[in-house]
Amino acid sequence: MVADVSFDPGSVTCGAVAVREAPLAPSDLEPFRRELTGYCYRMLGSGFEAEDAVQETMVRAWRNAESFEGRSSVRSWLYRIATNVCIDMHRQVQRRARPMEMGPASPPDESFLGPLLPEATWVTPVPDARVAPEGVDPAEVTQYRESIRLAFVTALQHLPARQRAALILCEVLSWQVAEVAELLNTSVPAVNSALQRARSTLRSLPAEPRPDALDGADAELLERYVDAFQRYDIERLVSMLHEDAVQSMPPFAMWIRGAANIGRFMVQPGPSGCRGSRLVPTWANGSPAFGQYRPDPAGGYAPWALQVLEISGGKITGMSFFLAFLDPERLFPAFGLPLHLDA
């Protein structure tokens, strides 16, 4: 059983809405943008591609609004369009991954960084502000976090597109199998078979620890992390890491395992260039995150990395640093982060 890629179903309920008799207007489509972005992100593994897919979904829906006959809900109709858009986009790119899926851990030496790989190589983060459900209880928030975390989204990328759609719709969004069969234009037995194969694939993947629900102690841990990182107190920072913590740095394939190794790497000549950085808080993939700004020779601070942290048992277990040159003009603004900090 793979605890890291499973979660309790029912995290984001997609119930039916009343059939409309009046012609559709753009205002009828816009309320679905947030949940569609979450769906497309899980399908595609890229926050940027998810935004593009939802925009294309809205354009197609508006162009074909007159053909909507009200036989299904607006939501179901939009999900059908979004699924087709995502399947079309999936045919054009390779399977996205994290560095941990691409090879073994490296020694803590920057000579192992290797070449810069294109953005399309990686599962990239998505802002909570664009996909998290609004006005839900704490249990639903926990379920949302499990369904959007980087490890789970990466695991989904191992599935063929239609299996992925079936699993997300049934087990994340709590659609009935019959509804999914209608959306995918297939039969109930075919959807059940797809779900069985998808679950089998996910169970075969390596297990990883799942983050705990965040509490007051974790908030205090994050405050200490920010203080230690900004003072570049590596000894104190390492004390906050789980002994088997993992750090990755897309667009480099290199990744490091172990608190001591992470500490050694951070004082290498290259990584030590992060000394004097400033961190600005945000949220990504249901996890605490920070925009990291390094000192800018021209003055102030320039974007360097979006740090996404995972916490379990009062320790930091995962540090995914998405370096800003993945897409400098989009990455930070997508998370509400400025492109420059004053001194």
Per-residue HEC secondary structure of 232-254 comes to: CCHHHHHHCEEEEEEEECCCCCC
What is the predicted pLDDT for the residue at 53?
97
For the chain, the straight-line distance linking the first and the last C-alpha, in angstroms and rounded, comes to 50
pTM to 2 decimal places: 0.89
Overall average pLDDT of the 153-171 stretch = 96
**What would the two tokens of residue 183 be?**
């959306």
What is the C-alpha to C-alpha distance for residues 244 and 259, in angstroms, rounded to an integer? 6
Decide if pLDDT at 17 tops 50: no
Least confident of 53-57, 136-140, 195-199, 318-322: 136-140
Decide if pLDDT at 24 tops 50: yes
When pLDDT is cut at 50, 70 and 90, the band that residue 21 belongs to is low
Least confident of 200-209, 234-243, 283-292: 200-209
What is the predicted pLDDT for the residue at 283?
96
Overall average pLDDT of the 167-177 stretch = 95
Overall average pLDDT of the 217-240 stretch = 96
What is the predicted pLDDT for the residue at 5?
44
What is the C-alpha to C-alpha distance for residues 176 and 16, in angstroms, rounded to an integer? 11
Name the nearest CA neighbour of 229 among 220, 218, 240, 219: 240
What is the C-alpha to C-alpha distance for residues 241 and 307, in angstroms, rounded to an integer? 14
* H or E stretch covering 294: strand 287-295
- Is the omega angle on the peptide bond into residue 251 within 30 degrees of 0, that is, cis? yes
The answer to whether 57 and 339 have CB atoms below 8 angstroms apart is no
Give me the chain's average pLDDT, please. 89
The pLDDT tens digits for 64-90 are 877 776 666 889 999 999 999 999 987
| Widest pairwise Cα distance in the chain | 66
The answer to whether 307 and 298 have CB atoms below 8 angstroms apart is no
Decide if pLDDT at 259 tops 90: yes
The answer to whether 58 and 33 have CB atoms below 8 angstroms apart is yes
Give the chain's domains with CATH numbers: 3-203 (1.20.140.160), 216-334 (3.10.450.50)
In which region does residue 179 sit, left (phi positive, over 0), alpha (psi from -120 to 50) or beta (all else)? alpha
What is the C-alpha to C-alpha distance for residues 279 and 292, in angstroms, rounded to an integer? 5
What is the predicted pLDDT for the residue at 71?
62
- Tell the residue number behind the tokens 């908030």, with chain if given: 219
Neighbours of 38 (CB within 10 A): 26
Decide if pLDDT at 8 tops 70: no
Decide if pLDDT at 20 tops 70: no
The answer to whether 335 and 306 have CB atoms below 8 angstroms apart is yes
Overall average pLDDT of the 114-137 stretch = 89
Decide if pLDDT at 58 tops 90: yes
